Structure 1
């Protein structure tokens, strides 16, 4: 173990991290970069919440033997972790209430996989703490496992004794130690301020506790750094805080710049910050230090310490989370953020957290370089989600206030559980946020009633069947005639469908309810869970048309009714919202709030504009004969069918894809305006679907050039240099919003008709990630040999063929894979040819050198049946008995074969009899004809004995 010299400089978090990295690198550990906070390959986790997550395949014995992970013996890293749900939900709930709870943190860890075990792990920890960090030995606490008789587990006296043997460790006289402690497995280690890693490793499953296949020792920095004076917050920051004389992680230099960023925004005090304080050890109190509210005066403004902590911690977590992906981000954003910005500070909603992103990158970009690569994406997603959820909160908080008033009027100390579930199920208002707000007002929640409402809702969903499909609820020609005859049901004004954000908000009136082929005045008679249709006088929902899929969302009467919209269809001007009631009833004449799902609409807009871009790029690359024959605009992909006689060559496909990307990079504006149909057809380069019946006036969508300018000079040839289409769909405001464009399929669907499927935005990023993973696997395969390489190449061939990735990237990867396969096969053939020649020559030379030898019996290299057959053929050519053995590549089986000339076959002896005597030794089976026989046995260790038996026949 390398000798360490204590670092004497300023203990910043970066220095703590570097000292940790240097120590374990000097002691033979390999650096493993942090995995994503999104555990893509582990459905049991919402976020990566511990350093061990990415090593689970090793622990469970499921690691790919061809992966770099399988070859690790000693490792160290800094893992990005987020604790915001499940078992660790308490971490999230307590953020801001005390000085140490966080959602995002780094976990520094060192790992051994079948290399060292307890002694080395404990010694590493002690040296790191005392020699590198210079922590005082008399202030360190240790624990060891006390055993669990019920589970058949003994106390870990081995670990205890190792700790007791450490030089300089100051222990007591109680038989164990004054500062060591036994702890029960599964306990939260709350008996002491902290713990070092236990020396036993187990994998818990449904069948109880099982020892791991080989010793696996893990140690995270966090458990080893608990001290009686140290704060109990997250991981590497603990040591930074302790060594720097600070009692709170919020005060260390990683968080202080984020904190300063929060403080320096234009925020104002709230009365709550001045009036409230939370007492208790380790909680936010009124002591005036960093463990209390610590009202700070910054530029004449006052800030409550608790809320400032919340802003800082969630800002870091969300920024890191967004870099790794989008799935689940709403949960993190919704829990606290916008509510507290609204309630505590007078903050403009829409850009608060993205303002923190540059500071976060400055602090952590060096150790997590992936943060620096997609700042624009992070900012955009944060801003859009923040604004979107702000609107959810606005409506949800109004209902919350209503429920609070009702509870207090009734003299209750709890909110009704059914109301709490309604807030979540109908408005997406987070339950934990409701709990927080209720707690602030001194109210609880009726948990039993909440669980009952939740269970009832789930059961209703199960029984709803095929809700919302247009096949279930649709208007026929007779229904439409009835509607047209009813002057009280006007055709739906759906102009608001093109609006976004707050501009899309509107109040509408229920004009018709359609169920079971009948128009009703109320939904009261419709069975729970049944699908029906609602027609409004106006709507912001997009009805399926022009290849673009429908919107989903809700139609509500606040506090009274909620209709879940799962499909929207257009019938001769009537927009039919299809779905089922979550609560209450609807009746004709009700004023309602229709709200579409913006996160579904967002990629729909991206993909629809990208379809226009693709249409233009196809014409520019392949020619004017390209005509649209169909399209699909879905949230996850776009599909475009067009006239073309032959498969598109890869170079042309690359031009089409690159041309589309160029439009996105240019970030031009997207314009739309209605023109009279006759004028629209005059625009040069107009793309329209042949045979389509367009309305008059018709909506024209263009890129870069404003439709109003085009209308002033309709026949100017320069309009051909951009995309101009008749279209009633929703689109982005600027092409840069689309982010990326990747073609994943090009195929023929009918004679003279081709199809392209493509993805944009985050789906494009995901297919790029998948392709990169396959490329890394290909690089690993190059270093393999033998059957291991053969198996890996076969597996990669299947994976690549099934991968939903870029067509162009797939072609490149297939070419690489084909070359690897050919090189491997050529090498195998050359090796087999050489081995066969050597074996055949051995037979020839044997009888040349010993012409009177009764037989050739030998072990040859090669390990394949073809080689054996070649040797037998040589025996036949020489008319000499031959028995040959070879061990396969795995070293687990022996293949053997015999030849006996016709002149030596008798009633008591032939090739089968000869092989049978060998099978008695090697095991397995043998069979064949009188002159040739072959077999396979597993007793490789008895090979020499088998050879001797074969020779004995002719001795």
Structure 2
């Protein structure tokens, strides 16, 4: 058994199965396509599910891949065990109704024992209890010792919800388990990690229905998965995935940046491994289009990045450093995943921005934690409640271990069980929001069950009207032979001019008709299998299956959409020319009203830059370039300089849309025939939507003219109100602003005089609670800042006391409470007082024991609220 590097192993596996007539496909992006059951791709077969279900036809019946995967279910174990990681690569070979057990079992044995040369006395095989067929093939078509085959139960049967499933056969490596004679001994050795599973051969031969019945598939499939990291540990003679060559190189870089040594301190080793794994994961996720956010896959990314940053702090790393590790990730994985190299600078920039943001968040979390600790101590308790730990973790990204560490310094404990309970509740809500899982996570309606044999030709690039046959009809619950007046449902035809929503372009609308019916096409989309579906409502008559119909796209709407789509391409190129070549598309949306374009850039675009971008696009529009479409291979397209989204999967032949010599992109959408048809473009907004992602919205043609007319009308209205000409608006506004400032200054000075006189009057009405002086008062017309200043002045005149003030301005109620420091030992807590008082006035708030603020909605309840403050103090003061 010779040493093999991870990159060598990957190539070895894929080449072996290419030799068995398999088509090698690139790894699919980590963001699932048309699969609502997953946040992120988590297995080799996940992107291929439409082929297993028959919803799509695979490019070949035999496929092999090395798939990028992310799993975070065991995130708490990452770094603590030898085999847990959030990112991993899954080697796989797949058969879609072609070969089955008779082929894959001997092939697997051939690859393991001949290519990898793993000694046969180091291998074990498990099969499902009932799979006599697999046992017979293993013992007759390989030379494995039958005593090294064990029958197991549910661990050797693969299924996820309803859909394709079946028994499996796992292949294991012996790390020194000693003599194994029974299934029980085998399972004990596996639990102890003395035997490690590295390849799973899944025999997908059943289709589990909603009633739990296992129906035989007409064409059984093969789905295998071998963890690259797992087999690399075997081939490199190490026991830990963090010690294989590609990962160890990242470990070494982490140690270098944090001035740490690996293998000398178990706690530090955990942090080193967490940083290594998480930076690898976030690099892959950012590369594939995942953006940091507070929900979904973006939250997974942000959580991993913040965990890595936190463990960097534990190791003593100063400032931001994670982006420096990205280079090492690219060095080790860029050969297999060229997109990493293409996006290297972008990935580093986003990681930098997020780590800087986390450092700020940590500081905000420290302030919040201090408030929590003050409240715990003020209540003579010694434990921080689970809900507060969860709020710190969920809202501020504040690590639990940091809360625990700081609590220990204050001789406090934390309610970990309560925290876990809140975490579990959050997971439950997330699961409920996703709904019941299905194999593809898709809506259980007929359109997602259309056979792969159904083909619809799209013939709408140059046509908006044509004749076709209605080959599938369905309501929202079942396939039918006819659709009648008033019904809503779905129509599939053998050919269509209707563009189905794709690539950011909305679907077409229009009419389907014949002498028997008139049907409105509300929308046009593709189902999970990529079939073109017309979403319809029957206006007149009825449509019968297999009838000939005329399909007519709303031509005016299509024209407006096409203008916006071509303008989007031109905007993309203008952004690159004005801002730099780092700009790349992150997302887009095009309808008949406007276009929206998301792109990579790291700062707000200046007014001058926006003007240059808009002017450049308009200049090119007016040059009336021909918009030309060519069909070519993906390789030819790239050589021609066409821009492509490399996180998208492209067919062998692609459409390249060129706007003169100005813009060239891969695109399947509809476009104008020449740029002059766009008329004009007008940028209406520019904003940030995520770290390193900006968004431009714009209008074209008639909509651009309408936009400018509205602006012009608004200008006229303003000039009329200001009683001046258009050109004098700015001058008149500046004059009025100066007048307002003078008046505000005058009002402030008057209020200050009034307040100065009010201090003694308010103090004169003080009440006393067990030696603590309490002042409550309603003050007319003071905003929050003025109210706070007044409270502070009154407090400074008190030896031992509390002041609670309230004021209403424009219907908004402000409360403030302040206490002298020496009153806190008597039990005074302004945060508790203000919280109860504000509730009476329909508001809320809180704060520290010595100062707190709140707001309210009901000004008429101020007096009662202040009385409530007094009542609360009665209960607090000892």
- Which bracket does the TM-score occupy, shorter chain normalised? 0.3 to 0.5
TM-score (norm 1): 0.41
Q: Which has the higher contact order (CA 8 A, sep 6+)?
A: 2
TM-score (norm 2): 0.45
